[in-house]
Amino acid sequence: MSETPTTLTGYECIQSYLNTIDNSPGVYRMLDSESRVLYVGKARSLIARVTSYSRPSAQHSSRITRMIRETASMMFLTTRTETEALLLEQNLIKQLKPRYNVLLRDDKSFPNILVAKDHDFPMIKKHRGAKKQKGDYYGPFAGAGAVNRTLNQLQRVFLLRNCSDSDFETRTRPCLQYQIKRCSAPCVGHITPEEYAQSVKNAERYLQGRTKGIQEALAKDMAEASEAMEFERAAALRDRIKALTQVQTTQGINPKGVAEADIFGLHIDGGQACVQVFFIRANQNWGNHDYYPRISGDEDASEIMEAFVGQFYSTREPPRSLILSHGLDNDDLMAQALAEKVGHKVEVLIPQRGEKAELVQGALRNARESLARKMSESATQTRLLKGVAEAFDLPKMPERIEVYDNSHIQGAHAVGAMIVAGPDGFEKNQYRKFNIKGDDLTPGDDFGMMKEVLTRRFQRLLKEDPERKTGTWPDLLLIDGGAGQVSAVREIMDALGVSDVPMVGVAKGVDRDAGKEEFYRTGKPVMALRHNDPVLYFIQRMRDEVHRFAIGTHRAKRSKAIGATPLDDVPGVGAGRKRALLAHFGSAKAVARANMSDLKAVDGISEAMAQTIYDYFHENG
């Protein structure tokens, strides 16, 4: 990696690097005068690419011209191949989020279906994250809803269990799932291991797209049951066949000629872009998801698509085919990079006719409609934010509104919650929860809790972004409470030296009815909005959202506390050892009383770990 300090900017700065780089492939970074990364790019030849930026006479887009003008230094990293440069470029873009790059903003992981294989009666469940558990994984699905629908269908047709292993081992009679014909009750022996294994095999064949033989086998079993006058069993098989038929008719577009592919449709309008991604696995449509990458408006479609695809697969496993609405600047390079990453051939296709082209047209249609809805919602959101500015006499339209609330039961399991709303609506990746730590707080002291939350929030902002340049500072605080709450919060903010952040308290008002809210501001009279004002509805939605988030966080903390045991605090005792100890001794209290020889008798507990557990309870007992 190389970097040459310089006081030059713009074209002169870039020209100063030409003698320090060669013809190697690699990645370059452009930085501004405060060393913030403006742009990350890759090049087959660094000298050729940087030279292209160094010529004032070159025809650059307005975006690139602005970027060059702000460049005060550059950094370079050479690679062995251009493929390595492409992969490194996308990783750096995701990590650094440069202002002038196309950026994939929503990068959540997608769920899979896991058929667990670590039990005699395998369970089927939704799985998200690293594939560490033993079993077969099917996916990705576009979202939790698509997985839940498929799991529901699999349970109706194949009667597989979805209970935990501990629930399975302790059942003495069938659960509700058996009563509503969603499980075959292997926990109490209503099905043999061989029959259950066949059901699992059929479920996996279904997930692999091989459904014809399953339906024929079920029909054969139903006929045999009828002939044997086993009418109850025949009726159950009939219901399963009916469920499978219903599944097959409601799956949507199931391409016959595309077994495994991701379909990408890109639509650009008004300086904004939407990429619609459809997931095809086992000749089945497993859902779709829309993305709105950050663009400046003067990139061409191939540049946007290449940046999007590269970032999309930086943390995901690509399928065997990518079917795109627009070609990439480097189709072959992308295919090679993804193939090296995943270990099998990856095709990048831009079809012009046939079934694949029809799939792309469907993705394009959805991208166009999704972007139209997004732009309409953004326009509405902008009007509401302007309305908030007018209602509360703010100096400008707020780009970031932070709303705060607390939740507790008589002071127990207290949490604070913050939600964020802006031009794109609720920004859920910006939500924050705060475990109330103050030991000196009186139970139910809402003022004290709010003081702790806001102190922690703004001390962090002052430390991480004192110049307020990252967009993480709020333009408006909404506090759930009246004059007393606003006065207390104002004192906190003044003490922190951030008294310039506008703040409004929202109180329920007369009879605590929604619609009669009163608004409190420091040094100004209490006010209200007219009953049918859209701004009032917007504030109500924000208040309800923070209340929902706070209650959910509180319930999760309370549930965790209910399931807590003294073993949670023993060094080296994780979930697995905790389960083994509780299964062996029956309770945490019995573990605390156990001697060394008893502890060493537990599976997975070494002599050293037994000593650690023994010492913990006897030194802290």
Computed over its alpha carbons, how large is the radius of gyration of the chain? 30
Other C-beta atoms lying within 10 Å of the C-beta of residue 310:
25
Question: 580 Cβ partners below 8 Å, 6+ apart?
Answer: 602, 603, 604, 605
Question: How does pLDDT run across 338-395, given as a tens digit for each residue?
Answer: 998 888 899 999 999 999 999 999 899 989 988 988 888 888 899 999 999 999 999 9
- Two structure tokens written together for 89: 């470029």
Average pLDDT taken over every residue of the chain: 84
CATH code of the domain in which 299 resides: 3.30.420.340
- Do 411 and 553 share a domain, yes or no? yes
Q: Which residue has 């009750």 as its token pair?
A: 185
368 and 464 in a single domain? The answer is no
- pLDDT attached to residue 503: 92
For 224, 421, 437, 463, 475, the CA distances from 456, given in Å and listed in that order, are 70, 20, 11, 11, 18
Considering the domain architecture, whether residues 318 and 418 belong to the same structural domain is answered as: no
Written as six digits, the tokens of 405 are 């609330």
Q: Looking at residue 409, what is its pLDDT?
A: 55
How many angstroms separate the first and last alpha carbons of the chain?
55
DSSP structure class, residue 103:
B
The last residue of a domain, from among 331, 351, 372: 372
Is 46 within 8 Å of 27 (Cβ atoms)? no
Q: Are 74 and 13 in contact (CB under 8 A)?
A: yes
Contacts of 329 (CB under 8 A, 6+ apart): 302, 303, 306
pLDDT greater than 90 at residue 411: no
Is there a domain that residue 105 lies in? no
In a domain, 513, yes or no: yes
Residue 249's pLDDT is what? 47
Same domain assignment for residues 575 and 440: no
- 104: pLDDT strictly greater than 90: no
Residue 336: count of CB within 10 angstroms of its CB: 18
Q: How far apart are CA 178 and CA 189, in angstroms?
A: 12
Is residue 326 within 8 Å of residue 266, measured between CB atoms?
yes
CA 23 to chain centre: 40
Cα gap 131→188, rounded to integer Å: 30
**Would 391 be classed as within a structural domain?**
no
Q: How confident is the model at residue 274 (pLDDT cuts 50, 70, 90)?
A: very high
Q: How far apart are CA 348 and CA 350, in angstroms?
A: 7
Interatomic CA distance for residues 225 and 231, integer angstroms: 7
Distances (CA, A) of 489 to 110, 521, 551: 40, 11, 22
Q: How far apart are CA 434 and CA 36, in angstroms?
A: 30
| Cis amide bond preceding 443, omega within 30 | no
Candidates 391, 392, 419; CA nearest to 486 is 392
Q: Is residue 392 part of a domain?
A: no
Q: Determine the pLDDT at residue 621.
A: 47
Same domain for 238 and 303, yes or no, is: no
Q: Kindly indicate the confidence band of residue 5, based on its pLDDT and cuts at 50, 70 and 90.
A: very low
* Confidence check: pLDDT of 177 > 60: yes
Q: How many domains in the chain? A: 5
Domain stop point among 61, 96, 131:
96
| The last residue of a domain, from among 43, 72, 96 | 96
In-domain check, residue 68: yes
Same domain, 442 and 531: yes
d(CA 62, CA 382): 26
**548, part of any domain:** yes
**409: β partners:** 412
Q: Are residues 515 and 543 in the same domain?
A: yes
Q: What is the rounded CA–CA span in Å between residue 329 and residue 301?
A: 10
| Position 259 confidence tier, pLDDT thresholds 50, 70, 90 | confident
Q: Where are the beta strands (DSSP E) in 508-619?
A: 518-521, 524-527
- Residues 183 and 204 grouped into a single domain: yes
Q: Please indicate, yes or no, whether residues 503 and 359 belong to a single structural domain of this protein.
A: no
Looking up residue 590, the CATH number of its domain turns out to be: 1.10.150.20
CA–CA separation, 401 vs 396, rounded Å? 12
Give the pLDDT score at 111: 86
Q: What's the pLDDT score for residue 389?
A: 94
Classify residue 386: in a domain, yes or no.
Answer: no
Do 358 and 328 sit in the same domain of this protein? yes
Q: Name residue 27's beta-bridge partners.
A: 42, 77
> Same structural domain for residues 446 and 536?
yes
CATH code of residue 84: 3.40.1440.10
Whether the predicted pLDDT of 408 surpasses 70: no
Q: Are 302 and 326 in contact (CB under 8 A)?
A: yes
Whether 288 and 228 map to the same domain: the answer is no
Give pLDDT, residue 345: 92
Confidence tier at 250 by pLDDT (50, 70, 90): very low
Distance, in Å, from the CA atom of 506 to the CA atom of 550, rounded to the nearest integer, reads 16
Query: Does the residue 388 lie in any domain?
Result: no
Q: What is the pLDDT of residue 575?
A: 74
Cα separation, 94 vs 311, in Å, equals 7
- Of the listed ranges 387-396, 506-515, 521-530, 534-543, the least confidently predicted one is 506-515
Residues 6 or more apart in contact with residue 125 via CB below 8 angstroms: 113, 114, 116, 151, 162
Q: At 469, which amino acid appears?
A: K
What residues make up the domain containing 289? 260-372
